[in-house]
């Protein structure tokens, strides 16, 4: 659009033309596709309700929270710790979601044994519970398989930990914080991590400083610095 | 492919690789578009917010099916519209109150199935305006909003911004042109 036409259009849109000049301008506009297109756009602008764009404060937070919740399917609190644990893990163990290798199945069997044992201690003095639960019980579980990428759930039970993270080659050994779930005073740390198929090494980090080898990992391997990494195959 | 589209595809790739938190950037960027669409269907603000949230959660869940040949904004717009339409259908089926909307209004919105491609394009362009406004020179955007959103006269604008009327007319016109170019690229 040349400058003269641009000026005519601007003046027309701003209502700066006399009636005669406006008629002339309309003829010029009618003959020029670009000017007609600007006029259509002007109609769009004047018909737009700008208040409809307003986004309530905190909206992005609530979306991200909803997404996080959808990814962590934890059952609602039920009376009775045994039922809670059973319900909670039945979610994790839903057959259609999980395809475990035999080695994982062994690790999970061990975990269930420990958890099933817990209700027997619930009537005991608190000290007994702490002694029992001091047995750190970490493990890994494959929860969904999306072609080359596998969502893997890490679970770690530790009553005393202030924070628990998992780090591995899949995160360039940067700690990924696990989320704390409270089940009758039991602290279950859990998190979903996407990983590529293949072999991975990982360790848990307790309270941001203590690196812990997963004792239930079917395969452990020296890391060359005096520690052992757990190894999983997806 | 524009630089912005390619940046957006990279962002989506990173989200799909597991950087879920980056999805917030897309929510921040496109929330005004989604709210604009939803408010075209629903009046009650509580319902508006709930539907908008459902749309973003659904889009997140479907993200791996996003066809990189199309624009994310257009894809999101279609998801939003279909979600609102499904919601309206369900409400009607359940014979419940559909916001404060009169039945004939609902009928007219539902009959959008018969709307032309051109109508859809216009509505999408209108929804995209909020994003385009963030991309143009802030001085132009400010003058533009005073004129079109706040319906101010150039004289009042000149007095508020301590600028000449002619300078503001030029700003508003540049805003129009830049917005049109950006929206046409996006839609």
Q: Does A194 touch chain B (CB under 8 A)?
A: yes
Residue B5 has pLDDT above 80, yes or no: no
What was the ipTM of the complex prediction? 0.74
Say if residues B45 and B3 touch (Cβ distance below 8 Å): no
Query: Closest approach of chain B CAs to the CA of A54, in angstroms?
Result: 6
Pairs of CB atoms within 8 A across A/B: 89
Q: Which of B118, B126, B113 is nearest to B186 (CA)?
A: B126
* All residues at 6 or more sequence positions from A149 whose CB lies less than 8 Å from its CB, including other chains: A194, A195, A196, A197, B17, B18
When pLDDT is cut at 50, 70 and 90, the band that residue B177 belongs to is very high
Query: Closest approach of chain B CAs to the CA of A196, in angstroms?
Result: 9
> In this predicted structure, what is the pLDDT of residue A130?
32
Q: Does A197 touch chain B (CB under 8 A)?
A: no
Q: Closest chain A residue to B153 measured between Cα atoms? A: A14
Q: Does A64 touch chain B (CB under 8 A)?
A: yes
pTM: 0.52
Selected residue with higher pLDDT from B186 and B104 = B186
Does B173 contact A10 at a Cβ distance shorter than 8 Å? yes
E strand residue ranges, A11-148: 139-146
pLDDT, one tens digit per residue, over B31-56 is: 999 999 899 888 888 889 999 999 99
pLDDT, one tens digit per residue, over B100-159 is: 444 545 555 555 544 555 556 667 777 888 888 888 999 999 999 999 999 999 999 999
Chain B neighbors of A146, CB-CB under 8 A: 64
Chain A neighbors of B61, CB-CB under 8 A: 70
DSSP 8-state assignment for residue A75: P
pLDDT, one tens digit per residue, over B62-108 is: 998 888 877 888 889 889 988 988 887 776 555 444 444 445 455 55
Q: Cβ-count burial of B167 within 10 angstroms (0-12 exposed, 13-18 middle, 19+ buried)? A: middle
Say if residues B175 and B143 touch (Cβ distance below 8 Å): yes
Q: Closest chain B residue to A192 measured between Cα atoms? A: B18
> In this predicted structure, what is the pLDDT of residue A162?
84
Does A13 contact B173 at a Cβ distance shorter than 8 Å? yes
Q: Does A172 touch chain B (CB under 8 A)?
A: no
DSSP 8-state assignment for residue A52: G
Does B169 contact A53 at a Cβ distance shorter than 8 Å? no
Query: Closest approach of chain A CAs to the CA of B90, in angstroms?
Result: 22
Averages of pLDDT over runs of 10 residues in chain A (234 residues) are: 86 89 87 88 86 90 87 47 51 42 42 37 33 45 64 77 86 83 71 80 85 76 73 76
Does B53 contact A46 at a Cβ distance shorter than 8 Å? no
Q: Does A38 touch chain B (CB under 8 A)?
A: yes
* All residues at 6 or more sequence positions from A80 whose CB lies less than 8 Å from its CB, including other chains: none
Give the one of A48, A52, A70 whose C-beta lies nearest to B57's C-beta: A70
d(CA A24, CA A18): 10
Q: Does A67 touch chain B (CB under 8 A)?
A: yes
A205-209 long-range contacts (CB < 8 A, ≥24 apart) are A205/A164, A205/A165, A205/A166, A205/A167, A205/A175, A206/A158, A206/A161, A206/A163, A206/A164, A207/A161, A207/A162, A207/A163, A208/A162, A208/A163, A208/A165, A208/A175
Residue B24 has pLDDT above 90, yes or no: yes
Q: Which two tokens stand for residue A103?
A: 């080695």
Q: Closest chain B residue to A10 measured between Cα atoms? A: B173
Chain B neighbors of A59, CB-CB under 8 A: 27, 31, 49, 52-53
Does B148 contact A50 at a Cβ distance shorter than 8 Å? yes
Does B148 contact A60 at a Cβ distance shorter than 8 Å? no
> In this predicted structure, what is the pLDDT of residue A139?
63
To probe the interface with A, which of B25, B118, B149 has the most A CB atoms within 10 Å? B149
**SS3 helix, strand, coil % of chain B, rounded to 5?**
80, 0, 20
């Amino acid at each position: 659009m040349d400058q003269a036409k641009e000026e005519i259009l601007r003046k027309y849109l701003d209502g700066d033309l006399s009636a005669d000049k406006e008629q002339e301008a309309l003829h010029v506009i009618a003959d020029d596709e670009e000017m007609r297109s600007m006029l259509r756009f002007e109609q769009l602008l004047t018909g737009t309700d700008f208040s409809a764009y307003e986004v309530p404060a905190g909206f992005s937070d609530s979306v991200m929270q909803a997404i996080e919740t959808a990814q962590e399917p934890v059952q609602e609190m039920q009376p009775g710790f045994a039922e809670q644990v059973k319900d909670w893990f039945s979610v994790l163990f839903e057959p259609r979601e999980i395809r475990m290798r035999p080695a994982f199945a062994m690790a999970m069997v061990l975990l269930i044994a420990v958890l099933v044992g817990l209700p027997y201690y619930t009537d005991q003095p608190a000290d007994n519970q702490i002694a029992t639960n001091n047995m750190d019980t970490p493990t890994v579980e494959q929860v969904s398989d999306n072609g080359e990428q596998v969502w893997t759930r890490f679970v770690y039970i530790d009553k005393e930990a202030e924070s628990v993270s998992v780090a591995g080659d899949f995160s360039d050994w940067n700690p990924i914080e696990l989320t704390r779930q409270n089940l009758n005073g039991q602290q279950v740390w859990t998190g979903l991590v996407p990983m590529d198929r293949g072999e991975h090494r990982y360790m848990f980090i307790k309270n941001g400083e203590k690196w812990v080898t997963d004792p239930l990992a079917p395969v452990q391997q020296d890391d060359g610095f005096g520690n052992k990494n757990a190894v999983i195959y997806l | 492919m524009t630089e912005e589209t390619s940046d957006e595809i990279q962002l989506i790739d990173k989200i799909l690789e597991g950087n879920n938190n980056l999805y917030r950037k897309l929510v921040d960027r496109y929330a005004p578009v989604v709210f604009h669409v939803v408010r075209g269907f629903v009046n009650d603000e509580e319902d508006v917010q709930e539907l908008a949230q459902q749309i973003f959660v659904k889009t997140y869940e479907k993200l791996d099916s996003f066809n990189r040949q199309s624009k994310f904004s257009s894809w999101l717009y279609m998801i939003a519209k279909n979600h609102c339409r499904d919601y309206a259908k369900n409400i009607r089926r359940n014979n419940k109150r559909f916001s404060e909307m009169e039945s004939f209004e609902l009928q007219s919105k539902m009959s959008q199935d018969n709307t032309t491609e051109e109508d859809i394009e216009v509505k999408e362009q209108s929804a995209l305006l909020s994003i385009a406004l963030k991309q143009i020179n802030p001085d132009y955007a400010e003058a533009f909003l005073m004129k079109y959103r706040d319906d101010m006269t150039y004289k009042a604008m000149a007095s508020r911004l301590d600028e000449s009327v002619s300078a503001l007319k030029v700003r508003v016109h540049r805003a129009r042109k830049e917005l049109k170019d950006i929206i046409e690229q996006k839609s």
